[in-house]
Amino acid sequence: MADVTVIEVGPRDGLQNEKRIVPTDDKLALIALLRAARLPRLEITAFVSPKWVPQMADHEAVLRGTPPADGLIRSVLVPNERGAQAALAIGVEELAVFTSASETFARKNINCSISDSIGRFAPVAELARRNGVRLRGYVSCTVECPYEGPIAPQAAEDVAIALFELGCVEVSLADTIGRATPSGVDAMLTAVTARLPSARLACHFHDTFGHALNNIDIALAHGIGIFDSAVGGLGGCPYAPGAAGNLSTLPLVRHLENRGLSTGIDMARLKDAETFAARLRS
């Protein structure tokens, strides 16, 4: 069994934030390479409106083209009950919902308050429960917000608790713009892990300002053993044009294994996936 779980979010969170719309066949080829590298959990697409996220317009084709497999959890982001129903009709192991610890960020990015977003997710949680699939929650801007600046640790704690009460089996705490420093991450995780079990928490760091791996070490010290990353660093940060965005999977895995932590990932195959991902960048 691996010491640490790496969740690959490149096919969704990565490609969603690339300017170029990647053809469906290329998305499926990337997913196949990631599966060959033994990534145990893949966030493969988002069941969102093509009007708002044209990069994910082929979500049904991508999910249908990624059949279930032993030991693989396929996750899809859903904004509401309609998206959840469409994903479940095809078949999926996990639904993911997204909110924020920043009220301003929530209103600007999901067009509602934090409280309203939690309410919107209630039917999704019920569908997940009835269909026996996992429900994962994302909390963006847990340390820094592009509009509000530093976020109080209590705010991240409150939203994470609300998602667990909703029915999430796991909550991913995100440094959405890559500005979080190790001291900020430490303060946030100190607050959250005082109320919630670290085994059910994940961290999602961006490497916009080069802090991601240091923040990984802080999270490990708090008992976090689940990390999101994007193959090839797919998905730039829209608030820092030209800067790196999502933490790249290969450096993350190398960093973890250099610390003596097993991931169960085939490094040679992962390098193949990283090479292919580099061709998909905008």
pLDDT digits (tens, 9 = 90+) for 74-128: 999 999 999 999 999 999 999 999 999 999 999 988 889 999 999 999 999 999 9
Read off the pLDDT of residues 7-49 as tens digits, 9 standing for 90 and up. 999 999 999 988 889 999 999 999 999 999 999 999 999 999 9
Question: Does 210 score more than 60 pLDDT?
Answer: yes
Q: Which residues contact 241 (CB under 8 A, 6 or more apart)?
A: none
Question: Does 230 score more than 60 pLDDT?
Answer: yes
Mean pLDDT confidence for 151-162 = 98
Mean pLDDT confidence for 158-173 = 98
Cα angle 130-69-62, degrees, rounded to a multiple of 5: 80
Q: Which residues contact 197 (CB under 8 A, 6 or more apart)?
A: none
* Average model confidence (pLDDT) across the chain: 94
Return the domain boundaries, the chain.
5-278
pLDDT of residue 141: 95
Q: Is 221 helix (H, G, I), strand (E, B) or coil?
A: helix
| Of 141, 168, 203, 237, catalytic | 237
pLDDT of residue 245: 81
pLDDT of residue 242: 47
Q: Are 153 and 190 in contact (CB under 8 A)?
A: yes
Of the candidates 12, 19, 7, 17, which has an alpha carbon nearest to the alpha carbon of residue 282?
19
Question: Does 240 score more than 80 pLDDT?
Answer: no
Pick the CATH number of 5-278 from 3.30.70.870, 3.20.20.70, 3.10.310.40, 3.40.50.150: 3.20.20.70
pLDDT greater at residue 257 or residue 208: 257
Of the candidates 216, 143, 176, 146, which has an alpha carbon nearest to the alpha carbon of residue 13?
176
Q: Is 168 a catalytic residue?
A: no
Q: Are 151 and 143 in contact (CB under 8 A)?
A: yes
Read off the pLDDT of residues 242-267 as tens digits, 9 standing for 90 and up. 446 899 999 999 999 999 999 999 99
